[in-house]
Amino acid sequence: MAAPLPPPPSGQFRDGVHLFPVRVYYDDTDAGGVVYHSNYLRWFEHARTEVLRLLGIVQSETADGMYAVADLAIRYAAPARLDDAVTIETRALELRAASVRMRQRALRDADLLADATVRIGFLGPGGRPRRQPADWRARFDAFSIKDTQ
């Protein structure tokens, strides 16, 4: 019997940093020959989702609420191009009752492509800020502690 196909990658934690691999496909690029600037935000969101998954937090299985981006700042350092293998680095910066702040960077080997700070808020079903579930917060906490080692 054939071995099952490996699942889509979730990346991995190394010294408190989550590393997530991304491939640049045609639809990520634009007629300027480089990755369209908003697609870095999609990659960052994918990486955050994989951080949650590795921490055991599956958003689609809770009715308590959901995380949403509250604000972000991003600096574009160099363009990614078709066929590039890009690594998304994610670090927890600050954990509060109803939000998490993270730093996320896109790199191609040692080259910095984009550098962002993202604040994620937890929202109840009605869309209002709400305390994160205690269990989820504890899991994030473990992630951020690793980051300071």
Interface positions with a copy of itself (CB under 8 A): 2, 5-9, 11-12, 14, 19, 21-23, 25-27, 29-34, 36-39, 41-42, 45-46, 49, 53, 58-60, 66, 68-76, 79, 81-83, 85, 87, 127
Active-site entry in 27, 28, 30, 83: 30
Taking the complex as a whole, the smallest distance from the CB of residue 134 to a copy of itself amounts, in Å, to 22
Concatenate the DSSP letters of all residues of 89-122 into one string. EEEEEEE-SSEEEEEEEEEETTEEEEEEEEEEEE
The answer to whether the beta carbons of residues 11 and 73 sit under 8 Å apart is no
147 is catalytic: no
H/E stretch holding 72 reads strand 66-76
Q: Between 30 and 141, whose beta carbon lies closer to a copy of itself?
A: 30
CB of 19 to a copy of itself, least distance (A): 5
Decide whether 44 or 143 has the Cβ nearer to a copy of itself: 44
Could you identify the residue written with the tokens 């509060």? 96
Residue 81 is which amino acid? R
Q: For a copy of itself, give the closer residue by CB, 57 or 92.
A: 57
> Least distance to a copy of itself from the beta carbon of 97, Å?
19
Burial class for 122, CB neighbours closer than 10 Å (0-12, 13-18, 19+): buried
Catalytic sites, residue numbers: 30
